[in-house]
Every structure is written in C-alpha cells, then in structure tokens.
Structure 1
C-alpha cells in the first residue's frame, strides 16, 4: 500500500519543502483508495448474490429429487424434469458470470499494486533514476498477474505496442481455466 506523506497536500500553500513528488504520491494514494473502496463495497453485494444462487441451486436439486421420487404419479406432458434442468442451467450460467467479476476484482487489485509500486519508486530519489530499479518493479508487477490476458497486455505495452491495439489483442484471448474446474457439469464453480 502507498505510504502517504504526512500532512496532506501543500499545493494550496506551498512552502520550501513543497514537491511535485509529494503531490503525485497523494494523488496516486487517492486512486488506490478509490479502487480499494469500490472493490470492498461491491464484494458485499457479490457475496449476497453468490449465496442466493448457491441456495437456489440447492433448492432446485431438492425439487428435482422430490419430483423424481413421484415421477410415476405426475403427467408426462408437464415435462417438469426438463424445465427444472433448464432453470438449473440458467442458474449455473449466472454463477459462472460471477467469475468475470472475480477477474475484475483481481485486475483492480493488481492496478492498486502497480500504482503503489510506482509511487514507492518515484518517491525514492536514490532509485528513481536507476533503470534496474524500474526493471525490478516491472518484473514484480508482472509476477503478480495470474491471467494470461494480463501478462500479454503488460508485455505488449512494455514492448511498445499502442494501448488500443494491446487491449484489442488481450480482449480477443480466451480466458484460460484450469482443468480442475471442469465447468458447469461438475457442479463446482472455481473463482480465479
């Protein structure tokens, strides 16, 4: 996390100690705080939704089991089993959509780490002008990425690609999911 200079901004009343680095640190700190606050706030809503969908899934399975036990006494034209299967499938699709939120949350956390690392480097005059320090920062930032899309975007921009083009290439990549999460058929949802 960014270590902010004590006393806040001095831009309105600059003194002999005023520095644009100090002001930059404060502004970067505000950016990190805003992202962290937004993620924390949205996590509560997401957790409530995730619980609701998991509970709905359990109720659907319970209903299916009850209906299967009484299948011989129900009219076949009701086709309840296929209707319940369709509801279950839609519920699972909604749960899978939560994975996209999880990726967003991870990316925002990585942005906060990047900003914090940058602020730390910029505020240290002994490291600011040392290329190896910048390379170390870049390596540390890249090592935190867990998704290939993030790594590709990072590498492309560092290698001089235009941001729009790098974003387009990253967006065209299919997210890689480990074999351990076999998908909706397995009944398990794995957040990244």
Structure 2
C-alpha cells in the first residue's frame, strides 16, 4: 500500500502528528475493548465459581472436608476477583490518555489554537482535571514541572505504592 504523504513544502508536520495521534487513540480504544470483553468473561467465570463454592459450603449433603475445601476455594476465588480490579484502574488511565491525545490533536491541527498560550493553558487544565487517582496527579505535576519521564514514573510508582498500602482498591 502506498503512503499518502506529501513532500517538501506541502508536508504539514502538525497535520501528520494529529493523524498519528488519532491512530494511537483508535489503537488504545480497540485494545481496551478487547481487554474489557476478556476481563468481563473471566470475572463472570470467577463469580460463578464463587457462587458454586458458597452453595457447596452450605450443602448439608456434602462432607465436612468438602465444605472446608469449598470455603478455602471461595476465599481464593474472591482474592482473584479483587486482583482483577486492576483492570478498572488501567481502563481509567488509558481512557485519560485517549481523551488527552484527542485534545492535543485538535490543538495541533488548528493554527489559531496552536499559537495561543490560553489554549495551551486550557489543555493543561482539562488534562489535570481529568485525573482522579493521586498517583496520576502526582505524575502530571512532575512532568509539567520539568521532570524526566523516568523521574515521573518513579514518582508514580512511589505514589501508587503509598496509596495502595493506605487504601483499598477503588472501582471506577
């Protein structure tokens, strides 16, 4: 397939950048859809397994050993269900990335907005206000204050470790 790319003076790097950002948004979106379907199926299966374990625990026809094994299995299955909740945070972060890439592509493709400090400031405010997880906010602040990618990631990990030890997993 031939590339539809102008050369020389006709090439608009901003337009090409906006197109590539749009492509990445589409890729993130379709990847999230694939993940949602898989996680939903796995979650349903584990929920059915947990319900089965509960029924085995309360079934008087089952031996004590079977009831105890069902109780242990129920605990493990519930632990797995909680572990799947990571996907909620992942989906939220990727949704923020999608939205922010769209906003950036819009700004890059509009000559008036591109030259406007107010529009760049508005973009920053919109991006900042989209975050609800402390670790995301800390990473945003670090990057906007000049931190390198590596420094921002380290700060994110530190914030994430601190918040996960301080609070239960939140669902979004």
Q: Partner residue of 2:29?
A: 36
Does residue 151 of structure 2 align to residue 191 of structure 1? no
1:90 is matched with which residue: 70, 76, 79?
Answer: 76
| Offset at residue 191 of structure 1 (A) | 2.5
TM-score, normalised with respect to structure 1: 0.77
Q: Partner residue of 1:148?
A: 134
The alignment of Structure 1 onto Structure 2 pairs a total of residues equal to 168
Q: Distance in 2 between matches of 1:14 and 1:35?
A: 29
1:55 is matched with which residue: 36, 48, 63?
Answer: 48
Q: Distance in 1 between matches of 2:46 and 2:82?
A: 11
Alignment of 1:3-18 (within 5 A): 10-11=4-5, 13-14=6-7, 17-18=10-11
Alignment of 1:115-134 (within 5 A): 115-134=101-120
1:161 is matched with which residue: 147, 151, 157?
Answer: 147
Q: Distance in 1 between matches of 2:147 and 2:17?
A: 26
3-state SS in 1 of match to 2:131: coil
Q: Partner residue of 2:12?
A: 19
TM-score, normalised with respect to structure 2: 0.85
User: Is there any run of 5+ residues in structure 1 with no aligned partner, and where?
Assistant: 1-8, 184-189
Range 55-64 or range 160-169, more displaced? 160-169
Deviations 1:12-41 (A, max 9, x none): x44865411111111111111111111111
3-state SS in 1 of match to 2:132: coil
Structure 1 residue ranges (4+ consecutive) displaced by more than 3 angstroms after TM superposition: 13-18, 174-177
2:157 is matched with which residue: 171, 177, 190?
Answer: 171
Q: CA RMSD in A?
A: 2.6
Q: Distance in 2 between matches of 1:112 and 1:61?
A: 40
Q: Distance in 2 between matches of 1:112 and 1:169?
A: 22
Which is greater in Rg?
1
**TM-aligned CA distance change 1:24 to 1:44, over 3 Å:** same
| Offset at residue 175 of structure 1 (A) | 3.9
